[in-house]
Amino acid sequence: MTTQRDPNQVVIFDTTLRDGEQCPGATMNLHEKLEVARQLARLRVDVIEAGFPIASPGDYEAVRAIAEAVQGPTIAALARIKEADIERAGKAIEPAARRRIHTFSSGSDIHLEAMMRMTRAKNIEKSVAAVTFARSFTDDVEYSAQDTTRSDRSYLVDLYTAVAEAGATTLNVPDTVGYASPEEFGDLIAFLVASVKVPGVIFSVHCHNDLGLAVANSLAAVKAGARQVECTINGIGERAGNCSLEEVVMAMRTRGDAYQVFTGINTREIIRSSRLVSRMTGMVVQRNKAIVGANAFAHESGIHQDGMLKNRETYEIMVPEDVGLSGTELVLGKHSGRHALTNHLTQMGFTLSDEEMGRVYDAFKELCDKKKVVYDDDLIALVQDQSSDMPQVYQLGTVQVTTGTRAVPTATVTLRRDSEEMTDAACGDGPVDATFRVIDRITGVEGTLEDFSLQAITKGEDAVGEVSVRVRYGDSVINAKGSSTDIVEASAKAYINALNRYLFLKSHHELKEEQDVTVAEQP
């Protein structure tokens, strides 16, 4: 069971791979989910909610693979209050040393009547039966009633008391629609903690960010006695997302005086976790996002810079190193050997196979030819580019563009598929458009670009640029990224990554749309 060692410890329950993955376009395949889960273990989250096994065979396999491979955190699987869901969840988490079933129903009349078509009494009866059944698979069972912030409080007391008496060890209180204000939510948690008189249970909260209040609501809940917070890396999730892990954790740490609690999170892994999730989901992190945005620790104005030089504490409430941003960024260059690179990457926390290391070293040497100074952030992008074990159906060979004030932008692209090389050329509205058109022509798969953005990963004119694309293939929307010192090359890589991801998901029938319609609705 996920034991809370100290009454002031807040359990961090990460749902990036379940609620986070539910947001449009953020679908990850099994390999990507495994990479994220391994990173979450390095971040030392207490619980990883690995998925919703009944939703699709792909979800089941991913949860099972994570339960087999990832050591440390408790592995949780989501299940409705149905026997088939619970059985599937129980089977998926079987290989994990610590395992949890998270079963959920609803608390509000609008959900019970309109969606579940159930009376309040029937809901209690079925929830109790579900918890009892879940306990036959594990002694760590979490129960959630969706939409608590629009539910009748005295009914919530009856419901939570009944499931706790049936063996639920964590009682999760979701603000499913992101409706609560911090004052109200804190009050609701204090009321439930005082009214549900079953010893030993942990109260948990799960806040959505529709009004931008998910972190504030979670913190208010902690003040009122909640000792588990459900959150996601970069705050990704349904609609406006979930409570952001990095924000809630750093708030509790930086303002320990105000909250009087602590977490077991290794905060130095925060930046790496954020970048990895952004890369795997293709969801860009806004520059001014607290803690992990590119500007979060940048001091631009003269007065601020002056103060910082005299004493960092004048304008800095957190040390960048605490979240994993290294102060000494200049690392390696053209003359660094493979050994030095391996050592540095190990110090940064990467464990790469010999084959991955070979690819990373070749890419590093190529980067050194284009860029004088290689920063840690460049290395992170490079490792993440080279170490993904998702099958690459197409690979970029070369891309050349001709453009100018009077010339029609033309791109010539060579792609590789197994040992075959294919070259073609096309014109477009601009060099990037022309490049995407050639890729469509060579592969015979037509994508529609829905979103495109470019961010410089590091400083300077020779900075590595990271391109994020959102591409539609029929009914499916795929996010992907690519990086290079050359913008057109970065764009081509991102577009090819989107295509490879689409082809992979299609061949494994893992597309979200199919899951949603054919097997189970997502909560």
Residues that bind Zn ion (CB under 5 A): 19
Least distance (Å) between residue 36 CB and Zn ion: 18
Least distance (Å) between residue 18 CB and Zn ion: 8
The phi, psi pair for 165, rounded to 5°, reads -65, -25
Closer to Zn ion at the Cβ: 19 or 140?
19
Q: How big, in percent rounded to 5, are the helix, strand and coil portions of the chain? A: 45, 20, 35
Closer to ligand KIV at the Cβ: 387 or 522?
522
Contacts for 353 with CB less than 8 Å, ≥ 6 apart: none
Least distance (Å) between residue 401 CB and ligand KIV: 45
**Over the Cα atoms of the chain, what is R_g?**
24
Of all residues in the shown chain, the one whose CB is closest to Zn ion is 19
Contact 84, 54 (CB under 8 A): yes
Strands (E), 83-227: 99-106, 141-146, 170-175, 202-207
Q: Which helix (H) or strand (E) holds 467?
A: strand 465-473
Sign of the Cα pseudo-torsion (115, 58, 205, 192, in order): positive
User: Which one of Zn ion, ligand KIV, none interacts with residue 104, CB within 5 to 8 A by kind?
Assistant: ligand KIV
Name which of 425, 427, 428 is nearest 412 in CA terms. Answer: 425
Least distance (Å) between residue 239 CB and ligand KIV: 10
Closer to Zn ion at the Cβ: 16 or 443?
16
Closer to ligand KIV at the Cβ: 148 or 435?
148
User: Which one of ligand KIV, Zn ion, none interacts with residue 282, CB within 5 to 8 A by kind?
Assistant: none
Contact 134, 90 (CB under 8 A): yes
Contact 401, 362 (CB under 8 A): no
Closer to ligand KIV at the Cβ: 240 or 373?
240
Least distance (Å) between residue 204 CB and ligand KIV: 9
The answer to the question of residue 104 lying near ligand KIV (CB under 6 A) is yes
Distance separating alpha carbons of residues 407 and 409, to the nearest angstrom: 6
Interface mask (CB under 6 A) for ligand KIV, residues 9-48, using x and -?
----------x-----------------------------
User: Which one of Zn ion, ligand KIV, none interacts with residue 144, CB within 5 to 8 A by kind?
Assistant: ligand KIV
Contact 9, 261 (CB under 8 A): yes
Least distance (Å) between residue 22 CB and Zn ion: 8
- Taking each helix axis as running N to C, give the angle between helix 431-443 and helix 487-507, from 0 to 180 degrees, rounded to the nearest 10: 30
Contacts for 506 with CB less than 8 Å, ≥ 6 apart: 476
Closer to Zn ion at the Cβ: 243 or 469?
243
Task: Give the residue, chosen from 73, 182, 409, 523, that forms a contact with ligand KIV under the rule CB under 6 A.
Answer: 523
Contact 400, 411 (CB under 8 A): yes
Distance separating alpha carbons of residues 145 and 198, to the nearest angstrom: 17
Closer to ligand KIV at the Cβ: 153 or 239?
239
Distance separating alpha carbons of residues 30 and 20, to the nearest angstrom: 15
The residue whose two tokens read 């660094």 is 336
Least distance (Å) between residue 283 CB and ligand KIV: 18
Q: What is the dihedral of CA 220, 222, 228, 230, to 10 degrees?
A: 20
Least distance (Å) between residue 242 CB and Zn ion: 6
Closer to Zn ion at the Cβ: 19 or 489?
19
Interface mask (CB under 6 A) for ligand KIV, residues 141-160, using x and -?
---x-x--------------
Least distance (Å) between residue 436 CB and Zn ion: 35
Closer to Zn ion at the Cβ: 243 or 357?
243
Least distance (Å) between residue 235 CB and Zn ion: 12
User: Which one of Zn ion, ligand KIV, none interacts with residue 146, CB within 5 to 8 A by kind?
Assistant: ligand KIV
Distance separating alpha carbons of residues 498 and 519, to the nearest angstrom: 25
Closer to ligand KIV at the Cβ: 238 or 489?
238
**Which residues within the stretch 160-219 sit at the binding site for ligand KIV (CB under 6 A)?**
172, 174, 176, 206, 208
Name which of 194, 196, 189, 225 is nearest 7 in CA terms. Answer: 225
Closer to ligand KIV at the Cβ: 221 or 374?
221
Least distance (Å) between residue 238 CB and ligand KIV: 7
Number of residues that bind ligand KIV (CB under 6 A): 10
Count Cβ atoms below 10 Å from residue 474 Cβ, excluding itself. Answer: 13
Fill in the amino acid letter for 137: F
Structure tokens at 461: 């004119």
User: Which one of Zn ion, ligand KIV, none interacts with residue 482, CB within 5 to 8 A by kind?
Assistant: none
Residue 476 pairs in a beta bridge with: 473
What are the CB-based long-range contacts (under 8 Å, 24+) for 193-196?
193/224, 193/225, 193/226, 195/157, 195/161, 196/157, 196/160, 196/161, 196/164, 196/171
Residue 451 pairs in a beta bridge with: 470
Which residues of this protein are in contact with ligand KIV, per CB under 6 A?
19, 104, 144, 146, 172, 174, 176, 206, 208, 523
